Amino acid sequence: MHGNSRNSMTRILISILLLGPVAFGQRYCDYVRPLTGTNKMGHTYPGATVPFGGVQLSPETDTLPYEVNGKYNKDVYKYCAGYQYTDKTIVGFAHTHFSGTGHSDLGDFLIMPTTGALQLNPGTVDQPTSGYRSGFSHSTETASPNYYSVLLDRYNIKAELTTTTRVGVHRYTFPATQDAHIILDAVYGIYNYPDKNVWTYMRVENDSMVTGYRQTNGWGRTRTVYFAMKFSKPFASYGFQNGSKKQVYKGFWRKFDQEHNFPEMAGTHIRAYFNFGTTTNEQLTVKFALSPVSTANALLNMNAEATGRSFDEIRKTGEDAWEKELSKTKITADKEVMKNFYTALYHTYINPTVYTDVNSDYMGLDRNVHQAEGFTNYTTFSLWDTYRALHPLLNLLQPARNSDMISSMLAHYDQSVHHMLPVWSNSANENWCMIGYHSVSAIADAVIKGTYKGDANKALEACIATANHDQFEGIGDYRRLGYVPEDKSGASVSKTLEYAYDDWCIAQMARKMGNEEVYNTFSKRAEYYKNVFDASTGFMRPRLSNGNFKKDFDVLNTDEAGYIEGNAWNYSLYVPHAPEAMIGLMGGNKRFVAHLDSLFTMQLPDSFFAHTEDITRDGIIGNYVHGNEPSHHVAYLYNHAGAAWKTQERVRMIMQKMYHPQPDGLSGNDDCGQMSAWYIFSALGFYPIAPGSDRYELGSPAIQTATVQMENGKTLMITAKNQSDKNVYVHDVILNGKPLNRTYITHSELTGGGELVYVMGSKPKKK
Amino acid sequence: MHGNSRNSMTRILISILLLGPVAFGQRYCDYVRPLTGTNKMGHTYPGATVPFGGVQLSPETDTLPYEVNGKYNKDVYKYCAGYQYTDKTIVGFAHTHFSGTGHSDLGDFLIMPTTGALQLNPGTVDQPTSGYRSGFSHSTETASPNYYSVLLDRYNIKAELTTTTRVGVHRYTFPATQDAHIILDAVYGIYNYPDKNVWTYMRVENDSMVTGYRQTNGWGRTRTVYFAMKFSKPFASYGFQNGSKKQVYKGFWRKFDQEHNFPEMAGTHIRAYFNFGTTTNEQLTVKFALSPVSTANALLNMNAEATGRSFDEIRKTGEDAWEKELSKTKITADKEVMKNFYTALYHTYINPTVYTDVNSDYMGLDRNVHQAEGFTNYTTFSLWDTYRALHPLLNLLQPARNSDMISSMLAHYDQSVHHMLPVWSNSANENWCMIGYHSVSAIADAVIKGTYKGDANKALEACIATANHDQFEGIGDYRRLGYVPEDKSGASVSKTLEYAYDDWCIAQMARKMGNEEVYNTFSKRAEYYKNVFDASTGFMRPRLSNGNFKKDFDVLNTDEAGYIEGNAWNYSLYVPHAPEAMIGLMGGNKRFVAHLDSLFTMQLPDSFFAHTEDITRDGIIGNYVHGNEPSHHVAYLYNHAGAAWKTQERVRMIMQKMYHPQPDGLSGNDDCGQMSAWYIFSALGFYPIAPGSDRYELGSPAIQTATVQMENGKTLMITAKNQSDKNVYVHDVILNGKPLNRTYITHSELTGGGELVYVMGSKPKKK
């Protein structure tokens, strides 16, 4: 067969694959299981959202006290996304949620429909009827992209949720009653410690419209969310409950009955209720627009996206948006993989989230209102997690959006009084969670791959300023000593290693931009990982400011032993930008492979698990921890030690063990899509161990075929011949008809389109 | 002498008078005593401000606890303006103050310069050195328009204050020290109950600039003030004290030493300090710009008004602005009257205050940012007080500003979820203080006198909507029954009477606009005062919803007996729009004059004074209470009962007894200039007892001459021939050469300019 006819055949094949299951009446959305990760520690939410949507409308299943006897209530941790699958009650539906985070916030504006005698507190699990909560059953629950539905048993109310980018839409189907209520609870929140609610303000604008805002002091220290709420029919009456602390000011509000039909309320703990009469199966729709800026902007958002459109229309628009994004990557695979893949892709396209009003206004980190000129402003940057695979995935599949995300990081930098890029930012707040300055990785990755549309010089300046911020987390010592000393700044090994990688990113970016000086400076810093390597133990080990390694070295300890979310075993492998050099330090390929094998096979003592909060035993293979991020590149390191077949074996095992399309299907926090992005890359057969490089390590695809529509108009077709659960070993890789005699593939090869064929077999090909 | 030469003479005389004391090197500003009213209950502040300035920079002399043993600490009431003349210490200088109010708020951003060991709490009066406060002495204190200065004894620091409309400027002259500090205390506030501080946010932008905001829940329930602060030289170091309640969120701020040189702080109770080294007599200037909208706007305000200008330049600009406004009304009089007059004029030109940024942005009542298009937005509307004489005075002497104030009231109406005009509004908050809907009086007065430049139809609509707001303070019952029933809404007599007057205003306005229907409706309502007149006692008396008068009628009681800030004796005279009809009800001229005489001469029992919080015994003449507003028109009522000479006698007595240019010189709260406006009118010889009418009652001028520059370019020259402390009786009034054979003068006569001559004598002219 000569070239031309091969190309024709390919085109036909692509055409068929492009149709995908849609040709048979099924949509990629149908494979998505939003409930995945809602049990235990996945911390995902099952509710409705659109791709990168600013509204995440989802059920809340409990209201635990944040403190019990003055101490943090550990059970609260399960509720980072508001929902736990095993719970029996629903307290309502709130409009903002993080997806998969390991700390939390949000849960703004809980709405609950009820009937009968009005109750304004949520009640408890033990005594649900002591409040307004309702029991529910998974048998009546539906969760799909941009749609969630459940029957509230107690009230016989069917609840349905959908969204636009900036508006949450509720539809409640009521029984016939003269006592139907919609409760708007602004007391509820996620991680809701007693003083979290700083201020709430509400105005009843007319008989069907309410506006206001809620200001909180949570993970985001100074955070305000504005809203406009529109009912599909006028309420008969309404009122407020003000549970605020005593407002002793001798005001003149006392003149009024502020609790009944009085149109304005303010305080720290406010609940509102709206009363209706309903006929049998009457549907009441509530449209709830958000804005980071003002109630006027929330109204603008409402009018631009939801006014005049039915629940069903809005639902369909959002589903279509999901289908459009998901179908840019069409795969064929066995059913479990199909579900895993599109669920993972769904979870990767949730974050970061849009944080701009329809008129381009957004709230800046400096607490001034800014205009996003030439980009959409995003928030929710969980960068310690997402620089690894989520941003590289977006950089490959959503480069325009990823470029806007980088513009958003640079706007953050401009507005930062610390003159730093984001570390972990949300809703115009920096919460400083985790370590490193990993914005630079995402930025360098985009600059190097040519996808960042903004000013690269400015981006480089921001990266350098951030990396030279001596007051931040030991950077001053790091620059002076070549490592972060553990006696000065904890998790010092993790910091040293991650700073060295980030510095390498800056160097790569500078090289690409022709800035030799910066390249040299940061290339030197990129080697500082060597300064914490302890040849005597073969591990990266905490050092003190006097130059000595710290004594009392426990290679399994993850608890303030020099590391964070990982122990010496896992973190010692974190030199993603120089794996060969690292392998050299650790004794060469053979010893390194044996070391990795030990990692995956060793037996951990029970005591280990006492310290891991957000992963389960299921998230661990030997001492390899997939439930936390620092090891996400580890399985791919075999490639660099001449044992690619072990990479292939391990990544297939991890995919199979750690991902299931069920509520308990995630082995740790999804972390704003990082866990899921790992899956997408791995299932497609490659993974970027060092973003900022143009290389992806080849692994073992879990799909049969994949057709990836690039934004540049090119199409990449991936075929995994003979792939099966047993045929996990790659025998050949052929790119556009030519064997690829290496264990990596480059960004331009992927985005150039064409045909990538993996030939699989049941036996390892050891060379 | 024929006409022409009389006119020439007049012109020459006017020219001389126009020069006034300036010709002799003295300025009208020199007569102003800002300390007047700072002792006891005047509630004025002695600090710096420009006419109608948005910044009121003034010393604070104590920090009393708002509550003692869980109960309101009555002593706090003395500190409505932050300063009490008899106090021995100063705790600092804050940027916002009400002038003369009877409840309070504000006191934002206290600045205190200190030396030596840093102390961050204000300390107590008993133990001043337990904190940062300093002793001071009146001998080193200077207060003049737009300038305040005092020596802080403890630190030997000279403090000087001046302002622009939107910027407070401090100049501190330090001794030589390595330990000079500027404390910025955002915990301090006026009426500072424990939970008043909702949130404070600060950013150290660079080595000499700080921005931020403070959000409070006080008299203004939801209020935020933004600032930008610029030091004249870089600070050596800085820090914060965060006294907020536990912020239990497991944030990552703990990574940082947030107390030293960390540039961002947020919480409920924040104090900042900035450290300097100073040489002997080194002057440090602090410019502190405010904005109702944002820190970005505060910076705009700073740059527009203060950047690049020295303390002395700014001081002079403000003094010149005062001189310009004061010298529009040039008087000659004895020295005490000169001081009283210009002090009073100063106090009337403090309120309302500018509430618009230099780019026309302001915060609206709906908590959205608005643009003031075609007007300057004002706030601080103490309307129950100021509709009586302050707004009429502004309408006469400052009609352009008064028109903008009315536009501000109408913007408030547009933004009001209650669809009401302001009652008592400040800083984008309605605090509902006192009774009535007296915006309509100020609006009608301007429409009727032709000074309102906006849309009169819209203004009328707003007045009607407000007057028909049935849920507000018994209006529904008032409209149905013709009076407010005491069993439904307290202070029912006061409300009925004031509503009736306000309704008359609406009627007058409608008539002027040719709207007969509204005129008729509201003219009818204007007579509802008759419905609370009890012929059996001769007093206006509380009625119940069943139509009966309330039993247990005590004509002296001011305490929840159907009246507010007045008793039956005073309030029964409140029919300013129909004095003749009222006199008729009360038995005709003779009985009425006797009744008034009793009011001024009766002896009150001691028990009376137990219930009057904000006036002193000095504020009362017989049972006539000048320290509160409801009687401000009363002395002029003799005019309507054929006893004008008694009006003349009483008003001169009141001027003499109730006004002194000393700290204890005001007999009650100045109430945003209402007390002072009464003086200005009365001293000039006329008073508007019923704003909304074009008439001013003639009294007895206390000046020798007055030359009033009208905004229309005309000049009114008033001469009181033979006037002296004894010659208080008016024998003749001659307007432009013609005798004015009546006891009133009209607005157009005053604004038409020319010459108004009072011929005075020592004996009453009884006809």
Which residue, A251, A187, A199, is CA-closest to B213?
Answer: A199
Structure tokens belonging to residue B593: 């004059």
% of chain B residues with pLDDT over 90: 88
SS3 B206: strand
User: Across the interface, which of B194, B249, B263 has its CB nearest the CB of A218?
Assistant: B249
Cis amide linkage into residue B352, ω under 30° from 0: yes
Q: Which two tokens stand for residue A601?
A: 């096979």
Output the six-digit token pair for B703.
Answer: 């000046």
Name the A residues in 396-435 with CB < 8 Å from any B CB.
417-418, 424, 431-434
Secondary structure of A190-222 in HEC code, one letter for each residue = CCCCCCCEEEEEEEEEECCEEEEEEEECCCCCC
CA distance A472 to A438: 13
Asked if residue A378 has pLDDT above 70, the reply is yes
Q: B253 and A432: CB-CB below 8 Å? A: yes
Quote the pLDDT of residue B194: 82
Q: What is the DSSP letter of A260?
A: B
Q: Nearest residue of A to residue B416 by CA position?
A: A205
Q: What pLDDT, on a 0 to 100 scale, did the predictor assign at position B716?
A: 98
Task: Give B84's DSSP letter.
Answer: -
Residue A475: strand, helix, or coil:
helix
Q: Quote the CA–CA distance of A437 and A496 in Å, as a whole number.
A: 11
Residues of B in contact with A66 (CB under 8 A): 248
Peptide bond before residue A352 is cis, with ω within 30 degrees of 0: yes
pLDDT at A2: 46
| DSSP collapsed to 3 states, B660-710 | CCCCCCECECCHHHHHHHHHHHHHHCEECCCECECEEEECCCCCCEEEEEC
Task: Tell me which DSSP letter residue B548 carries.
Answer: P
**Residue A132: is its pLDDT beyond 80?**
yes
Structure confidence at residue B60 (pLDDT): 98
Residue A15, pLDDT above cutoff 60:
no
Which tokens sit at B622?
């017989």
- Taking the Cβ of residue B77 and every Cβ of chain A, the question of whether any pair is shorter than 8 Å is answered with no
User: What are the tens digits of pLDDT across the range A676-693?
Assistant: 999 999 999 999 999 999
Q: Does A209 touch chain B (CB under 8 A)?
A: no
Judge: B417–A72 Cβ closer than 8 Å, yes or no. no
C-alpha closest to that of A409 among A377, A370, A444: A377
Nearest CB to A295; choose among B201, B211, B367: B367
Q: Do A367 and B424 touch (CB under 8 A)?
A: no
A221 CB near a chain B CB, below 8 Å?
A: yes
pLDDT at B235 over 80: yes
| Contact call for A264 and B205, based on CB within 8 A | no
Q: Please, are residues A383 and A423 in contact by the beta-carbon 8 Å criterion?
A: yes
The mean pLDDT of chain B is 94
Structure tokens that stand for A759 in this block: 């030939």
Taking the Cβ of residue A436 and every Cβ of chain B, the question of whether any pair is shorter than 8 Å is answered with no
Residue of chain A whose alpha carbon sits nearest to that of B255: A473
- At B158 the three-state DSSP class reads strand
| Range with the poorest average pLDDT among A418-427, A615-624, B207-216, B299-308 | A615-624
- pLDDT above 50 (res B422): yes
pLDDT at A36: 98
Q: What is the CA A570 to chain-centroid distance, rounded?
A: 22
Tokens read off for B181: 């500090």
Asked if A247's CB is within 8 angstroms of B431's CB, the reply is no
Q: Using the beta-carbon criterion (under 8 Å), do B249 and A219 form an inter-chain contact?
A: yes
Best mutation target among B196, B197, B252, B254 (most A Cβ atoms within 10 Å) is B252
DSSP A66: S
Please write the tens of the pLDDT for every residue from A548-601.
999 988 888 877 789 998 999 999 999 999 999 999 999 999 999 999 999 999
N residues, chain A: 767
Q: Do B295 and A213 lie within an 8 Å CB cutoff?
A: no
pLDDT in tens, A291-301: 999 999 999 99
Closest CA to B107 of B82, B83, B84, B85: B82
**A210 to chain B: nearest residue by CA?**
B417
Distance CA B377, CA B363 (A): 10
Give the pLDDT score at A31. 98
B110 and chain A in contact, CB less than 8 A: no
Structure tokens that stand for B134 in this block: 């300093």
The whole model's pTM is what?
0.95
Chain A CA closest to residue B207? A417
Alpha helices in A277-398 (DSSP H): 295-305, 311-326, 335-348, 383-386, 390-397
Q: Is B243 on the interface with A (CB under 8 A)?
A: no
Inform me whether the pLDDT recorded for A196 exceeds 90: yes
Residues A138-159 have a mean pLDDT of 98
First to last CA, chain A: 29
Say whether B366 and A103 touch across the interface (CB within 8 A).
no
Read off the DSSP letter of residue B57: B
pLDDT digits (tens, 9 = 90+) for B608-617: 666 555 556 6
How close A172 comes to chain B (CA, Å)?
28
Mean pLDDT of A7-21: 55
Name the closest residue on chain B to residue A224, using Cα atoms: B199
Q: Is the predicted pLDDT of residue A3 greater than 50, yes or no?
A: no
Tell me the two tokens of residue A165. 């980018």
Domain positions in chain A are: 36-324
What pLDDT, on the 0 to 100 scale, is given for residue A1?
A: 40
Closest Cβ–Cβ partner in B103, B294, B295 for A250: B103
Burial group, residue A117, by CB count within 10 angstroms (0-12, 13-18, 19+): exposed
* Best CA proximity match to B706, nearest among B322, B339, B329: B329
Residue B221 near chain A (CB below 8 Å): yes
Has residue A442 got a pLDDT over 90? Answer: yes
| Measured distance CA(A752)–CA(A754) in Å, rounded | 7
Asked whether A370 and A412 are in contact (CB, 8 A), the reply is: no
- Is A219 in contact with B246 (Cβ distance < 8 A)? no
* 3-state SS class at A382: strand
Size of interface A-B (CB pairs under 8 A): 131
Helices (H), A306-334: 311-326
**CA B85 – CA B68 distance, rounded (Å):** 23
Q: At residue A657, what is the residue type?
A: K
d(CA A197, CA A66) in angstroms, rounded, equals 13
Which pLDDT tens digit goes with each residue over B12-54?
555 555 555 555 568 999 999 999 999 988 999 999 999 999 9
For A555, the 3-state DSSP assignment is: coil
Residues 259-288 of chain A with CB under 8 A from chain B are 262-264, 266-267
Residue B691: partners with Cβ closer than 8 Å, 6 or more residues away? B387, B388, B391, B392, B395, B441, B442, B444, B445, B505
SS3 of B345, please? Answer: helix
**B2 pLDDT above the threshold of 50:** no
| Count of C-beta atoms within a 10 Å radius of residue A285 | 17
A66 touches chain B (CB under 8 A): yes
Contact B222 A201 (CB under 8 A): yes
- Chain B residues whose beta carbon lies within 8 Å of the beta carbon of residue A267: 217
For tokens 């229907």, the residue is: B517
The 3-state secondary structure of B700-758 reads CCCCCEEEEECCCCCEEEEEEECCCCCCCEEEEEEECCEECCCCEEEHHHHHCCEEEEE
What's the mean pLDDT when you consider all of chain A? Answer: 94
Task: Tell me the shortest Cα–Cα distance from A460 to chain B, in angstroms.
Answer: 22
- Residue in A closest to B191 by C-alpha: A249
Q: What is the mean pLDDT of residues A515-536?
A: 98
DSSP, residue by residue, B120-157: -S---SS-GGGSS-EE--GGG-EEETTEEEEEETTTTE
Residue contact B264–A418, C-beta within 8 A: yes
Chain A residues inside the 8 Å CB shell of B253: 221, 432
Give me the pLDDT at residue B249, please. 57
Quickly count: other Cβ atoms within 10 Å of residue B554's Cβ. Answer: 11
Q: What is the DSSP track for A691-708?
A: BTBSEEEE----SSEEEE
Instruction: Check A295 against B368: CB less than 8 A apart.
Output: yes
Smallest Cβ distance to B201: which of A367, A432, A433?
A: A367
- Cα of A95 to nearest chain B Cα, Å: 21
Contact between chains at A249 and B219 (C-beta distance less than 8 A) = yes
The percentage of chain A sitting over the pLDDT mark of 70, rounded to a whole number, equals 94
pLDDT of A66 > 80? The answer is yes
Q: What is the ipTM of this complex?
A: 0.94
| B492-512 and B516-525 helices, crossing angle to 10° | 160
Residue B119 is predicted with a pLDDT of 98
Q: Do B249 and A72 touch (CB under 8 A)?
A: no
pLDDT, tens only, A314-365? 999 999 999 999 999 999 999 999 999 999 999 999 999 999 999 999 999 9
Give the residue carrying structure tokens 């108004």: B756
Give the closest of B195, B246, B266 to A222, CB-based: B266
The model's confidence at residue A17, banded by pLDDT at 50, 70 and 90, is low
A471: tokens are 């007051």
Q: pLDDT per residue over B120-179, tens digit each?
A: 999 999 999 999 999 999 999 999 999 999 999 999 999 999 999 999 999 999 999 999
Is residue B549 a contact partner of residue B534, using CB atoms and an 8 Å limit? yes
User: What mean pLDDT do residues A28-57 have?
Assistant: 97
**pLDDT at residue number A20:** 53
Q: Taking CB atoms and an 8 Å cutoff, what residues of chain A touch B248? A: 66-67, 72, 193-195
pLDDT at A339: 98
pLDDT-derived band of residue A11, with 50, 70 and 90 as boundaries? low
- Residue B182, token pair as written in the block: 């500027």
| Chain B nearest CA to A525, separation (Å) | 23
CB-based contact, A155 to chain B, within 8 Å: no
- Is B13 near chain A, with CB under 8 Å? no
**Is the Cβ–Cβ distance between B757 and B734 less than 8 Å?**
yes
The dihedral over CA atoms of B520, B522, B525, B529, expressed in degrees to the nearest 10, equals -110
B249 vs A205: CB contact, 8 Å cut-off? Answer: no
Q: How far is B14 from chain A (nearest CA, A)?
A: 49
What CATH code is assigned to B36-324?
2.70.98.10
Least confident residue range of B214-223, B248-257, B440-449: B248-257
**Of chain A residues 348-377, which have a CB less than 8 A from chain B?**
366-369
* Interval B347-371 mean pLDDT: 98
Token pair 């390919």: residue:
A10
The amino acid sitting at B573 is L
Residue entry with tokens 């009146």 = B138
Residue B623, pLDDT score: 92
Interface touch B367/A263, C-beta < 8 Å: no
- The answer to whether A238 faces chain B, any CB pair under 8 Å, is no
